[in-house]
Structure 1
Amino acid sequence: MISVVDYHPGWPARFEELRAAYARALDEARAPYLSVEHVGSTAVPGLAAKPVIDVDVVVAEPDVEAASAALAGLGFVPRGDLGIAGRYAFDTPERFAPSHTYVAVAGSLALRNHLAVRDVLRNDPALRDEYGAVKRRAAAVAADIDEYLLLKSEVLGRVLRRAGLSEEERRAIAGTNRGIARRGARG
């Protein structure tokens, strides 16, 4: 079953704890990074969400390996890109749970997708509330993550359109989401 809960005002503080730990590890390893971003629904004040903090460590492409090694030093287990170009996933050690952490290449469609959804929903309360209601309904009836993603795909497409992503980019993101669901990975 998929759990979607009311927005929790403690999520930003938890992200800040994660951000500080990741930045410290990256700095100590001398792993170049551009930013550590709070993404996903927990990054949008007022939005219902799965209670998992999503974090993107943004790097230039040549720095993926160094950033991944720094996170591995904290106990993260690299899983590779899982078929999503420009986004590298990790299994999360218990002390950082519940969270999903990714190393994301600056400018990649994966990162642009994460930032676009976050930024549009932060700036459009009506669309945020509509998306939250759709997520709740989807979570209540979906048999699995595949059905959940499908049920929220129409409104998510509108969010991405509002963010200025092209039709081709939106199709690529929808295809990636279907691939995530087929693999049973995080969504």
Structure 2
Amino acid sequence: MIEVVDHQPSWPERFTVLRDAYAAALDAAGAGYRSIEHVGSTSVPGLAAKPVIDVDIVVDPEEVAAAVAALTTIGFGPRGDLGVPDRQAFRTPEHFAPTNTYVVVAGSLALRNHLAVRDVLRADPELRDEYAAVKRRAAAEAQDIDDYIERKSEVLARILLAGGLSDRERAAITATNRRITGRGAGG
């Protein structure tokens, strides 16, 4: 079962703890980074979400390996790109859970996707509330995480359109999501 809960006031505080720990590890390793971003539904005040903090560590392409190595020093297990170009995923150590932490290349579609969703939903309470309702319904009805993601796809496409992503970029995001969830091009 997929759990979607009301927005929790503790989520921004939890992100701050994570950001500070990640920055300390990156700094100690000499790994350059541009920013550490709170993304995903927990980053949007008032939005219902799965209770997992999503974090993007934004780096220049030449800093990806150093950033990945820095996170391993605090217990993260590298998982590679998992089919998402310009993004590295990790197994999260227990003391940082629950989080999905990524190293993403500045300017990449993966990053622009995350920032567009966050920024559009922060700026548009009506769309935020519609998305929350879709998420709650999807969580209640979905057979698994793949089904949950598919049930949100229509509203996410509109959010990404509002975020300025082109038709081609939105199609690439949809194709990547379907490939990752095992649905293939036929959906």
| TM-score bracket, shorter-length normalisation | over 0.9
Name segments (4+ residues, structure 1) moved above 6 Å: none
> 1:129 is matched with which residue?
129
1:180 deviation in Å?
A: 2.3
Residue 164 of structure 1 aligns to a residue whose secondary structure is coil
Q: Displacement, 1:54?
A: 0.3
Aligned to 1:166: 166
User: So what's the TM-score if we normalise by structure 1?
Assistant: 0.96
Mapped to 2, the partners of 1:59 and 1:142 lie a distance apart of: 35
Alpha-carbon distance in structure 2 between the residues aligned to 1:180 and 1:144: 14
Hey, what does 2:99 align to over in structure 1?
Answer: 99
Tell me which residue corresponds to 2:30.
30
Q: Gaps spanning 5+ residues in structure 2: where?
A: none
- Tell me the distance in 1 between the aligned counterparts of 2:15 and 2:178: 27
Aligned to 1:145: 145
Partner of 1:17: 17
Q: Which residue of 2 aligns with 1:71?
A: 71
Query: 1:5 is matched by which residue type in structure 2?
Result: V
| Alignment partner, residue 42 of structure 1 | 42
AA aligned opposite 2:28: E
List runs of 5+ in structure 1 lacking aligned partners: none
How far apart in 2 are the matches of 1:148 and 1:110? Answer: 20
Separation in 1, partners of 2:145, 2:177: 10
Answering whether residue 51 of structure 2 is matched by residue 51 of structure 1, we say yes
Identity across matched positions, percent: 69
Deviation at 1:146, TM superposition (A): 1.4
CA offsets 1:125-145 (integer angstroms, 9 cap, x no match):
000000000000001000011
Q: Distance in 1 between matches of 2:133 and 2:179?
A: 24
Q: Cα deviations across residues 81-107 of structure 1 (Å, max 9, x unaligned)?
A: 011001100000000000010000001
**Matched letter for residue 153 of structure 1:** S
